A and B are shown apart, each in its own frame.
Chain A
Amino acid sequence: MTREMPVALAARDIWKSYGTLEVLKGVSLEAHEGDVISVLGASGSGKSTLLRCINMLEVPDRGEVTVDGEPIRLRLHRGRREPADRRQVDRIRAKLGMVFQGFNLWSHLTVLGNVIEGPVHVQRRPRGECIAEAEALLEKVGIAAKRHHYPAHLSGGQQQRAAIARALAMNPKAILFDEPTSALDPELVGEVLRVMRALAEEGRTMLVVTHEIGFARHVSNRLLFMHRGEVAAAGTPEELFGGVAPEQFRQFIAGYHQR
């Protein structure tokens, strides 16, 4: 259904290794606008590294990342690949929201301060406008009452929802979620997943590295299953859960259900 939409981001043939450890071995993916892609896989399969290669928090050894039609230019410097143009990377990062496993809110700023930081200082938009938008976003993720609190005074679930609001405030082309519920107490996972489901339903482009099989199956429209640094299976949830998936994927899911 989103096939005809323009491509929001694409990664082509991404390779990444740390020393002799090959983490990514030629991974490609393409997210059209409105796609919600869940990336599944065991720990160490390279899911998070793939996500971090997309906004250049890790620089891939080989391969190309294109965001909103613009390829990120890389160059070789003293034998290492690095972004050729820091400003381009900054600009592209501002177009990609990121939600981290550990929330990574700025502890010296209030919730509202965290949300308006990027719009005011990176996008240089008028402060009043940013505050009004931020308050609407905080309302949407259900923590408007906490807007003048500091992150340390919030529960994990509230912090993660604040972090989602912070990513949304940049009005991003796509949002990268790096295991957004993995650091949460079980009873707090639901509130974050509900917010993410609401975002999916309003047509946001999302790339979600997750261990939440339910979310992957019922909210995302495409799945990517990674195994040892490669895409072992890709397709719609119906295809993969309908039985045409490779053995590794079935074992992975069976492992979850046995818990």
Chain B
Amino acid sequence: MIDAGFLLGTMRQLLAAVPTTLALFALSVSIGAVIAGLLAWARVGGHPLLDRFARGYIFVFRGSPLLIQMFLIYYGLSQFPAVRHSPAWLVLREPFNCAVISLALCTGGYAAEIFRGGLQAVPHTAIEAARASGMSGLLLFRRIIAPLAARAALPAYSTELVLMVKSTALASLVTVWEVTGVAQRIITHTYRTMEVFLCAAAIYLVLNVALVRLLMLLEWRLSPDLRAPRPLPAA
């Protein structure tokens, strides 16, 4: 029943697609974090127009299916001759780029709200103490607000990152040969749906286990004050 040779061959082909999956994830999460940072800033900055824009963005990209967003960017935009003849076409004609863009735009909307929550969780007393010592602007943000906000936002952001690893699978539907795409290609040749998808699922599980471990380590590093006091170094 279990065909070890077939499983091994499938695994080998799927593993070859892991770099593509990881690239989709890393690029879209990085770009998405920048988008989210700007949106969160717009949300808490106090400028009514920027706030309204950020709310609108989040409403659209969080409220509509990622798959439809991806289809609109890959299949939809290419309908317009103006797009095909613009310099943007150099980027948009590649399915990989379209997948990264739509993944980034979407996670940007989700992460913006997570970052906003983190920023708003910073106790105003900590900010006041910093101001009273002469800190303001970037220094205040870098030394006090950002570290406290990061710790508050990390648990929710970790979940978002795990979701993003799995969301890269949608890129297969715009012809990107990442793990799920390769799995489907193997199935169309072999009709062995169960084995192939189980192999693919196992790969996503392993990726997410590694990611979650990494994030737990980061959370542990970022919250030393929540752990028991460390013994004093020998005097």
Contact = CB atoms under 8 A, between A and B. Distances in A.
Interface of A: 55, 57, 86, 89-91, 93-94, 96, 98, 100, 102, 104-108, 117-118, 121-122, 145, 148-153, 166, 170
Contacts of A150: 224-225, 229
A178 to B, nearest CB: 10
Among B129, B136, B144, B226, the most chain A Cβ lie within 10 Å of the Cβ of: B129
Contacts of A166: 133
A106 B147 CA distance: 10
Contact of A121 (B125, B131, B135, B225): B135
A55 B132 contact: yes
B139 A121 contact: yes
Contacts of B135: 90, 118, 121-122
Interface in B9-62: none
26 contacts: A55-B132, A57-B132, A86-B137, A90-B134, A98-B132, A98-B133, A100-B128, A102-B125, A104-B128, A106-B126, A106-B129, A106-B144, A106-B148, A107-B225, A108-B222, A117-B143, A118-B133, A118-B135, A121-B139, A122-B135, A148-B233, A150-B224, A150-B229, A151-B225, A153-B225, A153-B229
Interface of B: 123, 125-126, 128-137, 139, 143-144, 147-148, 151, 222-226, 229-230, 232-233
A118 B148 CA distance: 17
A86 B128 contact: no
Q: Which 9 A-B pairs have the closest CB atoms?
A: A94-B134, A150-B225, A104-B129, A98-B132, A118-B133, A104-B125, A93-B134, A122-B134, A90-B134
A148 B231 CA distance: 9
Nearest to A101: B125
A245 B159 CA distance: 64
A250 to B, nearest CB: 34
A148 B230 contact: yes
Contacts of A108: 147-148, 151, 222-225
Nearest to B142: A121
Given A100-B125, A107-B225, A148 B130 contact: no
Contacts of B123: 107
A29 to B, nearest CB: 19
Nearest to B125: A104
A105 B129 contact: yes
Contacts of A104: 125-126, 128-129
Contacts of B137: 86
Nearest to A119: B133
Nearest to A178: B132
B8 to A, nearest CB: 48
Given A94-B134, A121-B139, A152-B225, 4 more contacts: A86-B137, A91-B134, A104-B126, A107-B225
Given A86-B136, A150-B224, A106 B130 contact: yes
A156 to B, nearest CB: 14
A118 B140 CA distance: 11
A149 B229 CA distance: 6
B133 A57 contact: no
A96 B223 CA distance: 30
Contact of B232 (A57, A96, A100, A145): A145
Among A90, A94, A145, the most chain B Cβ lie within 10 Å of the Cβ of: A90
Among B128, B130, B134, B225, the most chain A Cβ lie within 10 Å of the Cβ of: B134
A153 B227 CA distance: 9
B218 to A, nearest CB: 14
Given A91-B134, A104-B128, A122 B139 contact: yes
A90 B225 contact: no
A145 B231 CA distance: 11
Given A121-B139, A122-B139, A150-B229, A107 B126 contact: yes
A34 to B, nearest CB: 22
Contacts of B139: 121-122
A165 to B, nearest CB: 13
B230 to A, nearest CB: 6
A121 B125 CA distance: 19
